[in-house]
Structures are given as structure tokens and as C-alpha cells.
């Protein structure tokens, strides 16, 4: 495991997850709900920015590594899953949305691992639909964590629309990746 700047940022993103979750476990007398929302939102946004930044730096500095390629998506999935579970607990997101998004992440991660093992990882490389899904999620989650008006826009309804869009894109992208892998799955099944 190489500890370079991009991998350090990825580890930092993982270490920020307990801050997002822990904010909501602080007593209201120490941290009022409004401040909990602001803290969780701010930390989530910082973590999301490090996600973009660590990939950029890895390419720019020539510090890409197999470990970094493994750890980066794991950090993303942990961060999104933790935030979604908190949002379900807070009553801001329906559990079915969280199940769809988290279930897809587990399914596609397992599919990618299997495809890499059989030497066909290019078949399930990140596609535009996956990037669109991620953009919708990474915009919806902070809006739902913030849960208050911002520049005269009520963030909760906007976040809810986006999280349902993200859930639909999640299903669509899962179907896309499974269709891409289906020929190899069928080929392996007939052996």
C-alpha cells in the first residue's frame, strides 16, 4: 500500500464518515439540529470534493495505484451508504431508495470484481450513466442533509426529487452494466 497524496485524501474521506454520522448523535443541547445539519452537509461536501480531487491528483502527479483504484470506490460507497442510512433514520429518505442505491452499489462492485477476475473488467468500466447517477446522488444528499431553505430554495423537496432521479438512474445504470456483462456471464455458464 503506497501512502501518497491521493490515497491520503481517500483515507481522509473514509475518516470523515463518522463525523457525518456522529453529528446526529450529539445531544441537541450541545449541537442543535440546525448545526447538526450544517456540519453533516459541510463535511459531506468536503468529502465529495476530495473524491474528485484525489482522482485528479493521482493522474496529474502520476500516483495512480492498484490500491488507490480499489480504495477510492470503496470510500465513495461507504460515504454514500452512511449518509443514506442517516437520512432514512432522520425520516428524510424512504428506505426503498436507500436499498435500491446501496443494493446496486454492492451488486455492481461484485460484478466488477468478478469481471476483473476473468479478465474482462473493460466490459464494465464506468459509463456516462454511472457518472450521471453519481452526480445526482452527490447533489441530492447534501440538500437532504441540510434540510432547510438555502437562497430561497427549500432544499428538502429539491433533494427528494434528485434522490428519486438518482434511484431511477441507479436502476438504469445497473441494467446497463448487467447487459454489458451478460454475454460473458452466459458464456461462462455454458462451460
Structural domains of the chain ordered from first start = 5-189 (1.20.120.1760)
Which alpha helices (H) appear in 25-154, and where do they start and end?
33-60, 66-89, 95-117, 128-146
Q: Is 48 helix (H, G, I), strand (E, B) or coil?
A: helix
Which residues, in sequence order, are bridge partners of residue 153?
Answer: 150
pLDDT at position 183, please? 78
Residues of the chain with pLDDT under 50: none
pLDDT at position 103, please? 94
Cβ contact 182:149 at 8 Å = no
Distance CA 77, CA 143 (A): 18
pLDDT at position 191, please? 60
Cβ contact 67:1 at 8 Å = yes
pLDDT at position 140, please? 97
Could you tell me the three cell numbers for 49?
Answer: 470534493
pLDDT at position 188, please? 65
Amino acid at each position: 500500500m503506497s501512502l501518497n497524496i491521493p490515497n491520503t485524501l481517500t483515507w481522509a474521506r473514509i475518516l470523515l464518515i463518522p463525523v457525518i454520522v456522529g453529528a446526529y448523535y450529539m445531544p441537541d443541547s450541545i449541537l442543535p439540529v440546525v448545526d447538526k445539519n450544517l456540519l453533516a452537509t459541510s463535511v459531506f461536501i468536503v468529502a465529495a470534493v476530495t473524491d474528485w480531487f484525489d482522482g485528479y491528483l493521482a493522474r496529474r502527479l502520476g500516483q495512480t495505484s492498484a490500491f488507490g483504484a480499489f480504495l477510492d470506490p470503496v470510500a465513495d460507497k461507504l460515504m454514500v451508504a452512511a449518509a443514506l442510512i442517516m437520512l432514512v433514520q432522520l425520516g428524510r429518505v424512504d428506505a426503498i431508495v436507500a436499498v435500491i442505491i446501496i443494493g446496486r452499489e454492492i451488486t455492481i462492485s461484485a460484478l466488477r470484481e468478478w469481471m476483473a477476475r476473468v479478465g474482462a473488467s473493460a466490459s464494465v468500466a464506468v459509463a456516462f450513466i454511472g457518472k450521471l447517477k453519481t452526480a445526482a446522488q452527490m447533489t441530492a444528499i447534501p440538500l437532504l442533509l441540510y434540510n432547510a431553505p438555502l437562497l430561497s430554495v427549500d432544499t428538502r423537496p429539491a433533494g427528494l426529487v434528485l434522490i428519486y432521479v438518482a434511484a431511477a438512474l441507479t436502476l438504469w445504470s445497473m441494467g446497463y452494466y448487467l447487459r454489458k456483462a451478460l454475454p460473458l456471464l452466459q458464456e461462462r455458464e455454458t462451460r
